[in-house]
Structure 1
Amino acid sequence: MIIAVPTLAIRRQFVLTDITTAEAGLAADRPLVKVAVVVVLNNPFAGKPFTEDLSPLIAPSAALGSAMAAAAVEAMGGAPIESYGKGAVVGLNGEQEHGIALITTPFGDSLRAGIGGGQAWISSFSKRAAPGTVIDVPLAHKDALYVRSHYDGISVHLPDAPLPDEIAILAAFASRGRLNARLGGVDAAEIVGEDGLR
């Protein structure tokens, strides 16, 4: 699907799908499906004097979150989404805060809604970098951060992005916790109710 958001000049987008069916010689009872959706867009503040008001990035971020969630659901191919994370890589003519403006509350709220809900805050990582960087997007359970089996991540290589005047935005998802997770803690099956725990 093509992601298009009014007021955001998107140059490139791609979806990474990673499916693991076995680890340490043991077949999984169900595959671990990880998806990362990446959108590379123009940074209107790059190379310009400091600007206090970043609302031109914040305002369209809700629509961006919705579109990226839809792309992720499609890429998951029917697998459930149990964990999520987000990230931003800002080109060297911009500020780290420009990326954060695109992945703050409006983005996160629409991302949750687009995948059918989530009660936990969304783990994130951001940085400034040149094209060709790798970013590790953290993953945690969508309904409770305390589910240790779902502490994970996905590494994404950005081969020609972000250019100095661009921002790469990432949304990442997984269908389950780590394969062979066995270090205790709250079990995902225990999560219910408003507070995220039984």
Structure 2
Amino acid sequence: MSAKPANFNGLHIRKWYVFEEETLAVESGPLADGEPLRKIVVAAAIANPHAGGFTEDFSAVIAESAALGEEFGRRLVGALAGRPAASYGKAAIVGVNGEYEHGNAFLTTEFANPIRKALGGAESWVPSTGKAGGPGTAIDIPLAHKDALYVRSHYDTVSVSFGDAPLPNEVVIAMAVATRGRLYSRLGGLTAEAAIGEDGLR
């Protein structure tokens, strides 16, 4: 494990991040068809306990990620400030002394389930992506409807970068939510109302 002192359930977290964007109109000009689209990203720069080597056993990180997911859920709910989350996605950026798999170890079901619980509903699996890189690396986090994966109107991305992370022996773990689907989504397909019913929307 990392020699850096643990400050969160066996992990060393150097920094938390929260980003929010609010879209009021589509690129061609029309104002939002309803509420603006808000996308929120919560992320953490975490010391990578497996940096610099190969491991077969990720059980410690997977176990620790459950408490991490609870904290992500708490911070996401706080950032939403009473607004519902309609879609979500997750991502990892692994510093150059690590492997892509080191980031994936933080993003398993153990991490995601507490976030699902905090957001309410959240029956769908959480789309995920990742990459290796250094400070300032940009990543596009995929978004999909949290209760009905095949709702086409909610397929989206949010792009973020972190000016000082990840350092070579770190991973950045990020979770994104959006409050609605794309503005003026008009490609047809399954709707959220048809997929889960009006009473099921949260």
Give the TM-score normalised by structure 1.
Answer: 0.92
| 1:33–1:79 Cα contact (<8 Å) kept | no
> Matches of residues 22-171 of structure 1 in structure 2 within 5 Å?
22-23=25-26, 24-28=28-32, 29-48=34-53, 50-171=54-175
Q: Aligned AA for 1:32?
A: L
Query: Residue 74 of structure 2: SS of its match in structure 1?
Result: helix
1:10 corresponds to which of 13, 16, 40 = 13
Q: Give the one of 20, 23, 35 matched to 1:20.
A: 23
Q: What is the letter of the counterpart of residue 95 of structure 1?
A: E
Q: Which amino acid aligns with 2:8?
A: V
Taking the aligned partners of 1:153 and 1:66, their CA distance within structure 2 comes to: 23
Contact kept? 2:154, 2:180, Cα under 8 Å: yes
Q: CA deviation at 1:78?
A: 1.7
**Residues of 2 paired with 1:7 and 1:117: CA distance?**
29
What letter is aligned with 1:162?
A: P
Aligned residue-pair number:
190
Alpha-carbon separation, structure 2, partners of 1:111 and 1:101 = 16
Consecutive unaligned residues of structure 2, counting only runs of 5 or more, are 1-6
Contact 2:94 2:171 in 1 (8 A): yes
Amino acid at match of 2:11: L
Task: Give the Cα separation in 2 of the matches to 1:14 and 1:56.
Answer: 24
Q: TM-score, normalised by structure 2?
A: 0.90
Q: Distance in 2 between matches of 1:33 and 1:77?
A: 12
Report how far residue 72 of structure 1 moved: 1.1
Q: Which amino acid aligns with 1:151?
A: Y
The structure with the largest strand share of the pair is 1
Q: Percent identity?
A: 51
The residue type equivalent to 1:98 in the other structure is H
The offset of 1:149, in angstroms, is: 0.4
* Alignment correspondent of 1:176: 180
Deviations 1:92-137 (A, max 9, x none): 1111111101001101111111111311110000111111100000
